[in-house]
């Protein structure tokens, strides 16, 4: 048992943040554009997005994934939020978080994303870089069965780095030293 009372006011959410420009409108699986529904692939829209993009696409390599795990862990610990698990891929990151108090999911989601962006920029010597696509998705964990499925099956199946409660605490990665400075 994980000590979560699903009848209480303590929410548990699975948040997903996509890397900036990692899922374009020409994706064979479709794309989402400020609506909840999946739209069919659109190469013309993809070209439009590419022409108007301010930066190159982001993919989370192993070092970025290490930083993300540490950053989300650190952000949760400082706010007394509970980080249950994280799974990474080159194109996105999932994290499962719960918290007490009256903070809404939007506040929690945005705070986590902002802190991760700031720390990625610092550690990779790219301050101000856009790391994530807008917003991010969220799904409230419904009950113990849903929680168990996410922790035992869904998160561990991802190909990138993963972390779960009970693992050693993530260590702070050292920053990249820019040889030109």
CB 94 within 8 A of CB 116: no
DSSP structural state of residue 131: -
Compute CA distances 178 → 118, 122, 124, 175, whole Å: 18, 12, 9, 9
Q: Would you state the pLDDT for residue 51?
A: 87
Q: Would you state the pLDDT for residue 1?
A: 47
**What mean pLDDT, rounded, does the chain reach?**
89
Is a pLDDT exceeding 80 seen at residue 6? Answer: no
Is a pLDDT exceeding 80 seen at residue 130? Answer: yes
Q: Which of 97, 76, 98 is nearest to 9 (CA)?
A: 98
pTM attached to this predicted model: 0.86
Q: Which CATH architecture has domain 12-27+50-164?
A: 2-Layer Sandwich (3.30)
> Where in the chain are the domains?
12-27+50-164
Rounded Cα distance, 98 and 88, in Å:
19
DSSP structural state of residue 39: B
Instruction: Please name the residue ranges forming H helices in 3-159.
Output: 43-52, 62-79, 105-123, 144-149
Q: State the sign of the Cα–Cα–Cα–Cα dihedral 74, 79, 80, 84.
A: negative
pLDDT in tens, 31-40: 777 666 777 8
Averaged pLDDT, 43-55: 86
Is a pLDDT exceeding 60 seen at residue 66? Answer: yes
pLDDT in tens, 77-93: 999 999 999 999 999 99
Q: Report the percentage of the chain scoring pLDDT > 70.
A: 90
Is a pLDDT exceeding 50 seen at residue 160? Answer: yes
Averaged pLDDT, 56-61: 94
Q: Would you state the pLDDT for residue 5?
A: 56
């Amino acid at each position: 048992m994980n000590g979560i009372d699903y009848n209480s006011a303590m929410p548990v959410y699975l948040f997903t943040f996509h890397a900036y420009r990692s899922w374009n409108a020409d994706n064979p699986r479709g794309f989402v554009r400020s609506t909840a529904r999946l739209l069919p692939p659109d190469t013309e829209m993809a070209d439009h997005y590419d022409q108007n993009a301010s930066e190159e696409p982001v993919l989370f390599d192993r070092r970025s994934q290490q930083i993300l795990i540490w950053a989300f862990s650190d952000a949760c610990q400082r706010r007394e939020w509970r980080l249950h698990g994280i799974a990474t891929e080159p194109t996105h990151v999932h994290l499962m978080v719960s918290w007490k108090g009256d903070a809404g999911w939007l506040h929690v989601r945005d705070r986590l994303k902002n802190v991760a962006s700031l720390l990625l920029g610092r550690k990779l010597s790219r301050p101000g870089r856009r790391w994530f696509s807008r917003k991010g998705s969220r799904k409230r964990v419904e009950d113990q069965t849903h929680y168990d499925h996410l922790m035992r099956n869904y998160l561990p199946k991802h190909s990138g780095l993963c972390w779960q409660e009970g693992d050693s605490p993530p260590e702070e990665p050292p920053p990249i030293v820019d040889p030109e400075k």
